[in-house]
Structure 1
Amino acid sequence: MIRKLLIANRGEIACRIMRTAKARGMKTIAVYSDVDASALHVRMANEAVRIGAAAPSESYLKIDAIIEAAKLTGADAIHPGYGFVSERAAFAQACEEAGIVFVGPPASAIAAMGDKAESKRRMIAAGVPCVPGYQGDDQTDARLSKEAKAIGFPVMVKASAGGGGRGMRIVNVASELEAAIASARKEAENAFGDGRLLIEKAVTGARHVEIQVIADMHGNVIHLGERDCSLQRRRQKVIEESPSPVISPDIREAMGAAAVEAARAVGYENAGTVEFLFDPAAQAFYFLEMNTRLQVEHPVTECITGLDLVELQLGVAEGKPLPLKQEDVTLSGWAIEARLYAEDPAHGFLPQTGRIAALQFSDGDGVRVDAGVETGDEVTAFYDPMIAKVIASGATRDEAREKLASALEKITLLGLTANASFLVELLRDETFAAGRADINYIEANLARLAPPPAPVSALEAALAAAILMDRRPGDLLTGWNSRGDCAFPLKMQYGESVLSVSVIATRNSLTTLLEEESATVEILSAANGVIRYCNGARIGSACFSREGETIDLKTGAHARRFIDITYAPASDAGAGADVVKAPMAGAVTGVFVKSGDAVKKGQIVIAIEAMKMEHKLAAPRDGVIAEVLAAPGDQVAIRTKLVSLGAA
């Protein structure tokens, strides 16, 4: 019996695991890094233990520190969640050696499935369908090239020890192969310390379909149906659903049976996911890999089966037999999940960092939210920028899809840019609505799916101006000229743009002129982060937050950030083309120039890494490097000046 459960993770998955553990009467223990000392998962836990500094390598990846925290608090089990140490065989082994229950599979199963080449060899031996390819020990460029040509292009070059899309390249023609092998090997060595590669036939038009399995310690293995995770960007899942719109009952049965055989082939126990590529044209599926942990997208399976996967995991870890057989598993309705990230789709999906000024979801009525943050929490550059998972379920796919789109539109998130509008665009896209979007769909249609935001309207400018004029919360009219009109200019920074707004204020209303558009509003109230206004015959409301001269405003589907620069010093005016600034908080990973170097516009001068992604920054114009203000390893804040340019 598990009495005290330590969760070796953070964010939404730690919170989600705690909810089930507490419902089972277990005490929960959180671990945290320095930047997570007041995080939501820490606040939810019965106890919390600091395990190190902010960088994952100094905290959430430190196996010894996590084991020590479990011993210190008397935990009798550890749940790893997903990511971090969840798929490290060494961690499962360390738990076993310490006499602590690991809520997951045996170390041997993790090791077998963690190596793509080894797992593929085992699957072939077990009769599980696999993509034609090469996974041999001869890793010379010549052998890899020979095998790729024998398989036939297009092919996938993949890191044997990889995951999360890293160390993966698609090669369409032979002339691209040499560069793809070199770059995939280098990325694999940097990410995993293992440069081994395998070659597979690329399945064009494929769907990513995965099967949820769970196995107990008594030889029972069942599957819980499929999830379709075809909507991906840069090999990262964006939207997931269950069931799949392209899987027939016969394919589901065959794929489920193959997943069960895959689990049996490695002596699997606990929850896991077997991923397949499905070719709709050929009605064929091929083993891709097995994730030896709970998946991010597990809630869609819970919604259509009525099961709690974490509860099943805990029961298996306690040595109990599965409480149901395969014939007891029923799938009812449809569920779709969207991953809400702090990222800016209009600017290359740049990760966003900072304090969440306001966060409110519309859940209930078939909508579930698994969040890892609340209003006032901080999103940092050290970890994945996920804010929440939003899941909707309904009797039909269209019902679930529309519920999810509506729930995403109703989210209030101020202080950070997020991808909610992009997710809504995907959900209402005709191809996705028809169930025809494959794994390449987002990349092929990105310009249409992530368009630039609509221009700021005069109404939005009027509301921002009204909030800026308020010097005492709750009294929006303070400082207005009670004897008549008061006209003045207002300058607001919006992204990289400067908005010049003409404002005319009376005792009862405010009119703004922005370029050729004007708007007049009467402010009815402004309290508790909501401003109510009358614009002509229309009464509306918007959510807002203010910190100093910075305003976050959400009207309808649009969330904007304005900074009042009317009285800001002009020292930086016109300097945009003379400096390279950090587009987000992160760590400098490379500096490619020095003072005195001549550079061309577009030349890469510096690189920073944030949230597991590297961003290379280019010179904004031709010139000579005047000063380099950062060095590799430096932690920098957003908009920090990194490099300055002198005359050409």
Structure 2
Amino acid sequence: MIETLLVANRGEIACRVLRTCRDLGVATVAVHSDPDAGALHVRRADAAVRLPGAAPADTYLRGDLIVAAALAAGADAVHPGYGFLSENAAFARAVEAAGLTWVGPPPAAIEAMASKTRAKRLMGVAPLDPAALTEADLPVLVKAAAGGGGRGMRVVRDLSALAGEVAAARAEALSAFGDDEVFAEPYVAGGRHVEVQVLADAHGTVWALGTRDCSLQRRHQKVIEEAPAPGLPPALADELCATAVRAARAIGYTGAGTVEFLVAADGTAHFLEMNTRLQVEHPVTEALYGVDLVALQLRVAEGAALPPEPPAPRGHAVEARLYAEDPARGFAPQTGTLHALDVPGVRLDTGYAAGDGIGVHYDALLAKAVAHAPTRREAVRALARALERARVHGPATNRELLVRTLRHPEFAEPGRVDTGFYDRYLADLTAPAPGAGHAAVAAALAEAASRPGPGAWRNLPSAPRTRAYTGPEGAGGSDGPAAHVVRYHRTRDGYALPDRPGVRVVSAAPDLVRLDVDGVVRPYAVTAYPVPGGAGTVHVDAPTGSHRFTPRPRFPDPAERTAPGSLLAPMPGTVVRVADGVAQGARVEAGRPLLWLEAMKMEHQVTAPAAGVVTALHAEPGRQVGVGALLAVVTPDPPGGTAQPAQRPEAADPSGEPARPEPTDPPGE
């Protein structure tokens, strides 16, 4: 029997494992990096051991430190969660060599499936050699052999781009996994990502717990998952489950694992890989079958036998991943304080609580919201409504994108969605949020209500008061969040809105404003989070959705400007590489990749905004930058196309801060 379990992970999955341990009466030990010293998984564990440092390579990827932590804390078992060392055979062997119970498959089974190329050969599929590809092989998907989660993955449609994409994939794979091996496979446009959950014991029983559909992805990373895979022909579902069981038996698998397939539009299934661990999306299978996969993992690790057959599935389950990111601007990760996280009515798996900080060192996943209902339509409706009514206060998130996705007509049709969904609809799904104007009115009136009322009596009517906001972030389109200007009068009878016919203020308090819009009254809950010396944020939660605003200063500082062609960091992160040939004085074409930033396990490409000359470069690999840090300046070619000689512009501050020229314009409204 396992008495004390060390969870060799962090965040949401660590909290998930801790929850099951609490239910089973198993004591727990957490490990943490320095940025995670106060994290939720540390607070919820019975004991915690520090892993000195911040980078994963120095902390959560140090198997020797984790084994030592388990021994020091008196743990007798280790659960790896997902990611980090969960599919590392050497770590599994080290755990067992230390006399600890490994909650996972045998190291030999991990090894058999650890490399995607070896796994494909085991399943009778020949991976493609990128060096031998011809035009006839295109399009292909270049992938990291040792990777996952979209890292080291590139779509190649043009043979001339192959060498560059392979080099980029190798560089990213080496950085993420310590292994630069890549391979290629046919790129199936319009395919569905379908997987099968398996669970096996050491007594010969292997369960196939049905299918999951994970086709809704951004940057090759999953966003919405559901079980069972909708619209899949029963014969095909049975075939995939049988193939998954054969794969598990072939390598002597025990514990939980997932076999992944790509299903083409014609119904042809292509084996992708086997993940020898628990998947992020495992809650939809738990809801569908009424099981606790973590509890079953622990029981299998203790030597227990599974029943001959799994429970019967019931209903339908849908999961949405809530990320701290801005979908309208390339899914750029966001940082800051999470002030509130409340998604009522559905299961919520998270590694954060109100007041926690969201940093730059790990991925942007905040939580997973899961709905289960008798039918798919009911489950989707419940999840969309729960997210719409949720209180998620803090940095910008993809919440609005999730709600719109769940309500999209194509998603409503079972089996219609494929991996190209966001390529087709992202612009529409990130358009300015409806109702933002009324929410901005509520924000302005709540702020006004928090201040004292009007002073002395006036003989003439006063000019309207004005309040301006930027936002909501995450739904303002690629040109940035929209600006909202609210003009109002404060009278002895309440508030009046001279610019908004059809809108009447029913009541206004610092935390709640009720507006009558064309005869329909709706409440707007307003919560302001001021920042000393800054604008802070205002969150407005309404029955029709939520909005996040940033108050704009009444007198903008004209010094808040940058030189033309300045490239500022869109997020905090680390410069991982600079493109070959990019240096001060180099000439570049519009759209050429200049450098890559890594933040929250994702790489973001920074490109030249126009053809011109690189007149400043403040990016070198390994440099940590904050939002708005000056990375480079590309001085555009003048009209007529004659390039200017390279020179260092006055705006290029070597400190890396954006240029701040002396103000010359008088302040205005």
Which category of TM-score, normalised to the shorter sequence, fits these structures? 0.7 to 0.9
Find out whether 1:544 has 2:533 as its counterpart: no
Aligned to 2:79: 79
Relative to structure 1, is the Cα distance of residues 508 and 631 closer, same or farther in structure 2, using a 3 angstrom cutoff? farther
Taking the aligned partners of 1:640 and 1:180, their CA distance within structure 2 comes to 27
Per-residue CA shift, 1:6-48, capped at 9, x if unaligned?
Answer: 1111111111111111110011111111111111111111111
Q: Is the 8 A contact 1:577 1:620 kept in 2?
A: no
Taking the aligned partners of 1:620 and 1:448, their CA distance within structure 2 comes to 20
Relative to structure 1, is the Cα distance of residues 631 and 521 closer, same or farther in structure 2, using a 3 angstrom cutoff? farther
Q: Is the 8 A contact 2:439 2:547 kept in 1?
A: no
Relative to structure 1, is the Cα distance of residues 511 and 31 closer, same or farther in structure 2, using a 3 angstrom cutoff? farther
Per-residue CA shift, 1:559-609, capped at 9, x if unaligned?
Answer: 22213311454321x437464322211123345766677777656555421
Aligned to 2:550: 562
Relative to structure 1, is the Cα distance of residues 191 and 533 closer, same or farther in structure 2, using a 3 angstrom cutoff? same
Relative to structure 1, is the Cα distance of residues 477 and 321 closer, same or farther in structure 2, using a 3 angstrom cutoff? same
Alignment of 1:57-206 (within 5 A): 57-124=57-124, 130=125, 133-134=126-127, 141=131, 144-145=132-133, 149=136, 152-172=137-157, 177-206=162-191
Taking the aligned partners of 2:187 and 2:584, their CA distance within structure 1 comes to 46
Taking the aligned partners of 2:208 and 2:197, their CA distance within structure 1 comes to 6
Relative to structure 1, is the Cα distance of residues 115 and 256 closer, same or farther in structure 2, using a 3 angstrom cutoff? same
Match of 2:567 among 567, 580, 586: 580
**Amino acid corresponding to residue 421 of structure 1 in structure 2:** E
Q: Is the 8 A contact 1:462 1:520 kept in 2?
A: no
Relative to structure 1, is the Cα distance of residues 539 and 237 closer, same or farther in structure 2, using a 3 angstrom cutoff? closer
Find out whether 1:400 has 2:386 as its counterpart: no
Taking the aligned partners of 1:241 and 1:337, their CA distance within structure 2 comes to 6
Ranges in structure 2 where 5+ consecutive residues have no aligned partner = 474-479, 636-648, 652-669
Relative to structure 1, is the Cα distance of residues 463 and 395 closer, same or farther in structure 2, using a 3 angstrom cutoff? same
SS in 2 for 1:158: strand
Per-residue CA shift, 1:92-136, capped at 9, x if unaligned?
Answer: 111011111111111111111011121122222xxxxx4xx446x
Alignment of 1:562-641 (within 5 A): 562-567=550-555, 569-572=557-560, 574-575=561-562, 577=564, 579-590=566-577, 606-618=595-607, 631-641=620-630
Ranges in structure 1 where 5+ consecutive residues have no aligned partner = 125-129, 471-475
**Amino acid corresponding to residue 404 of structure 2 in structure 1:** E
Taking the aligned partners of 1:221 and 1:551, their CA distance within structure 2 comes to 51
Residue 468 of structure 1, CA deviation: 3.9
Taking the aligned partners of 1:85 and 1:371, their CA distance within structure 2 comes to 20
Q: Is the 8 A contact 1:384 1:612 kept in 2?
A: yes
RMSD between superposed Cα atoms in Å:
3.0
**Amino acid corresponding to residue 305 of structure 2 in structure 1:** P
Aligned to 1:370: 349
Residue 423 of structure 1, CA deviation: 1.4
Residue 257 of structure 1, CA deviation: 1.9
Find out whether 1:320 has 2:307 as its counterpart: no
Per-residue CA shift, 1:487-543, capped at 9, x if unaligned?
Answer: 4444444465655544433355344567x88955354433xxx42334466251224
Q: Is the 8 A contact 1:356 1:377 kept in 2?
A: yes
Alignment of 1:388-427 (within 5 A): 388-427=367-406
SS in 2 for 1:478: coil
Residue 385 of structure 1, CA deviation: 0.6
Relative to structure 1, is the Cα distance of residues 452 and 221 closer, same or farther in structure 2, using a 3 angstrom cutoff? same
SS in 1 for 2:12: helix
Q: Is the 8 A contact 2:127 2:184 kept in 1?
A: yes
Match of 1:227 among 194, 204, 212: 212
Q: Is the 8 A contact 1:205 1:279 kept in 2?
A: yes
**Amino acid corresponding to residue 539 of structure 2 in structure 1:** L
Find out whether 1:290 has 2:277 as its counterpart: no
Name the stretch that deviates more: 424-433 or 337-346. Answer: 424-433
Per-residue CA shift, 1:50-73, capped at 9, x if unaligned?
Answer: 112222112111112211211111
Match of 1:453 among 416, 425, 432: 432
SS in 1 for 2:123: helix
Q: Is the 8 A contact 1:371 1:388 kept in 2?
A: yes
Taking the aligned partners of 1:263 and 1:247, their CA distance within structure 2 comes to 22
Match of 2:539 among 542, 553, 563: 553
Aligned to 2:638: none
Aligned to 1:127: none
Match of 1:265 among 250, 255, 265: 250
Taking the aligned partners of 2:632 and 2:183, their CA distance within structure 1 comes to 40
What is the aligned length? 617
SS in 1 for 2:96: helix
Taking the aligned partners of 2:413 and 2:66, their CA distance within structure 1 comes to 46
Aligned to 1:279: 264
**Amino acid corresponding to residue 491 of structure 2 in structure 1:** T
Find out whether 1:382 has 2:361 as its counterpart: yes
Taking the aligned partners of 1:14 and 1:508, their CA distance within structure 2 comes to 54
Residue 433 of structure 1, CA deviation: 1.2
Residue 377 of structure 1, CA deviation: 1.0
Relative to structure 1, is the Cα distance of residues 301 and 382 closer, same or farther in structure 2, using a 3 angstrom cutoff? same
Per-residue CA shift, 1:122-165, capped at 9, x if unaligned?
Answer: 222xxxxx4xx446xxx682xx226x85xx54444333223223
Residue 338 of structure 1, CA deviation: 0.9
Aligned to 1:525: 509
Aligned to 1:481: 455
TM-score, normalised via structure 1 length: 0.87
Q: Is the 8 A contact 2:442 2:526 kept in 1?
A: no
SS in 2 for 1:52: coil
Residue 276 of structure 1, CA deviation: 1.7
Q: Is the 8 A contact 2:442 2:513 kept in 1?
A: no
Aligned to 1:34: 34
Residue 456 of structure 1, CA deviation: 7.6
Residue 264 of structure 1, CA deviation: 1.2
Relative to structure 1, is the Cα distance of residues 466 and 559 closer, same or farther in structure 2, using a 3 angstrom cutoff? same
Name the stretch that deviates more: 309-318 or 234-243. Answer: 234-243
SS in 2 for 1:445: helix
**Amino acid corresponding to residue 532 of structure 1 in structure 2:** V
SS in 2 for 1:110: helix
**Amino acid corresponding to residue 562 of structure 1 in structure 2:** T
Find out whether 1:359 has 2:341 as its counterpart: yes
Per-residue CA shift, 1:211-232, capped at 9, x if unaligned?
Answer: 1111112222221111111222
Taking the aligned partners of 2:406 and 2:209, their CA distance within structure 1 comes to 25
